[in-house]
């Protein structure tokens, strides 16, 4: 089995590790990539193609794991060469994924979404998928992946992902904002204790992990919230709008700051005015 990745960041490198361990040949290209991505690729035993056209031609399954803003562009550039199944795993709205996959000329496409933390779960992370070629994509379950088919239409997997994003990122933003206020008043520990009384076991650890990852991934979350907003056409999604604004502002604040945070206090210190 040959799997080609377009984009090689956290998602592609994590899945590749597991796939290679299960005997899959992984392909990608260094074409146009930053130093960060080049180092990541060169550190792993990945087959490096001259360009993405070559990746697409050689692979049985192609996974687009770029950044949300580039999902359509890459599909447009390489879609005409694809003989394989093309899977879009980017966090994009159903409308964006439909547009991206419309450029795949052989129509062998699947919409896919990662549910949960890929960092924590590695190749076992739950991936939901929908579309005509979802069944072929799910064959990667034979190589260690955890793919669940949820429908036959492109857009169904992304819809669920966007709804989940709206909920989880909204909660993270609210938690960040309230804990930051408590921190400024030297009441953060007491505030967490108050919440722990009524929240589920393990709340403190997961709350702190949410805060730190909100800081680390603020820019990506701001982009993903734009996709959520595009999808939320029912009613007036003002909480999602506020969440998008929150992550945009946080991302600007953290723009030139080293994003290594020892704990949430260290992150709050770095963004304090
Ligand atoms: N990480 C997660 O936990 C997670 C969970 C669910 C969904 N996702 C989605 O999965 C996708 C990938 O996420 P990630 O965390 O792996 O992102 P990432 O670490 O930021 O990596 C993105 C990769 O895409 C490359 N890229 C950007 N533009 C490209 C282009 N035009 N052509 C080819 N490659 C391009 C980047 O290369 P450069 O370094 O050269 O820019 C980088 O290698 C995103 O759409 C994200 O929303 C991520």
pLDDT in tens, 8-35: 999 999 999 999 999 999 999 999 999 9
Which residue intervals of the chain bear CATH 3.40.50.720? 2-152
What per-residue confidence (pLDDT) applies to 262? 87
What per-residue confidence (pLDDT) applies to 115? 96
What per-residue confidence (pLDDT) applies to 9? 95
CB neighbour list of residue 243: distance below 8 Å, 6 or more residues apart: 166, 169, 170, 173, 225, 228
pTM higher than 0.85, yes or no? yes
Tell me the CA–centroid distance for residue 170 and ligand 1, in Å.
22
Ligand 1 binding pocket mutation candidate from 11, 92, 259 (most atoms within 8 A of CB) = 11
**Per-residue confidence band for 68, with pLDDT thresholds at 50, 70 and 90:** confident
Check pocket membership of 106 for ligand 1, CB cut-off 6 A: no
User: Is 90 exceeded by the pLDDT of residue 46?
Assistant: yes
The alpha carbon of 66 is separated from its chain's Cα centroid by a whole number of angstroms, namely 9
Cα distances (Å, whole numbers) of residue 205 to 18, 153, 200, 208: 27, 37, 11, 5
Report the C-alpha gap between 132 and 113 in whole angstroms. 15
Task: State the CATH class of domain 2-152.
Answer: alpha beta
Tell me the CA–centroid distance for residue 198 and ligand 1, in Å.
37
Question: Residue 68 CA: which ligand 1 atom is closest?
Answer: 45
Report the C-alpha gap between 16 and 83 in whole angstroms. 21
Ligand 1 binding pocket mutation candidate from 30, 32, 67, 126 (most atoms within 8 A of CB) = 67
Cα distances (Å, whole numbers) of residue 33 to 8, 41, 95, 144, 247: 9, 10, 27, 28, 26
Specify the CATH number of the domain 159-271.
Answer: 1.10.1040.10
- Nearest alpha carbon to residue 155 among 92, 111, 101: 111
- For residue 200 the two structure tokens come to 């589920």
Q: Collapsing DSSP states into helix, strand and coil, what is residue 87?
A: strand
What is the spatial order of strands in the sheet that 2-6 belongs to?
47-49, 25-29, 2-6, 61-64, 85-88, 109-115, 126-130, 146-151
Which residue intervals of the chain bear CATH 1.10.1040.10? 159-271
Strand 126-130 and strand 2-6: the pairing is unpaired
Report the C-alpha gap between 246 and 225 in whole angstroms. 10
Tell me what the pLDDT averaged over the chain comes to.
95
pLDDT in tens, 90-133: 989 999 999 999 999 999 999 999 998 898 999 999 999 999 99
User: Is 90 exceeded by the pLDDT of residue 256?
Assistant: no
pLDDT in tens, 180-202: 999 999 999 999 999 999 999 99
Check pocket membership of 11 for ligand 1, CB cut-off 6 A: yes
């Amino acid at each position: 089995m040959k799997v080609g990745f377009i984009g090689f960041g956290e998602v592609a490198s994590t899945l590749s590790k597991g796939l290679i361990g299960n005997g899959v040949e992984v392909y990608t290209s260094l074409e146009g990539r930053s130093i960060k991505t080049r180092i990541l690729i060169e550190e792993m035993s990945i087959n490096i193609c001259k360009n993405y056209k070559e990746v697409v031609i050689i692979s049985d399954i192609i996974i687009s794991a770029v950044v949300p803003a580039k999902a359509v562009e890459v599909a447009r550039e390489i879609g005409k060469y694809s003989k394989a199944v093309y899977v879009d795993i980017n966090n994009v709205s159903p409308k964006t994924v439909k547009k991206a996959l419309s450029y795949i000329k052989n129509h062998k496409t699947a919409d896919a979404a990662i549910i949960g933390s890929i960092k924590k779960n590695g190749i076992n992370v739950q991936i939901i998928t929908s579309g005509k070629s979802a069944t072929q994509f799910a064959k990667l379950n034979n190589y260690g992946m955890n793919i669940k088919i949820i429908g036959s239409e492109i857009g169904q997997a992304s819809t669920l992902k966007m709804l989940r994003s709206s909920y989880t990122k909204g909660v993270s933003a609210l938690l960040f904002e309230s804990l930051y206020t408590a921190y400024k008043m030297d009441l953060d520990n007491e505030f967490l204790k108050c919440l722990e009384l009524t929240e589920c076991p393990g709340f403190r650890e997961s709350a702190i992990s949410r805060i730190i990852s909100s800081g680390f991934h603020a820019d990506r979350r701001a982009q993903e919230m734009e996709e959520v907003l595009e999808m939320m056409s029912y009613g007036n999604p003002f909480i999602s709008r506020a969440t998008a604004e929150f992550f945009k502002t946080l991302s600007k604040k953290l723009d030139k700051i080293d994003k290594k945070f020892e704990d949430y206090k260290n992150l709050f210190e770095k963004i304090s005015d």
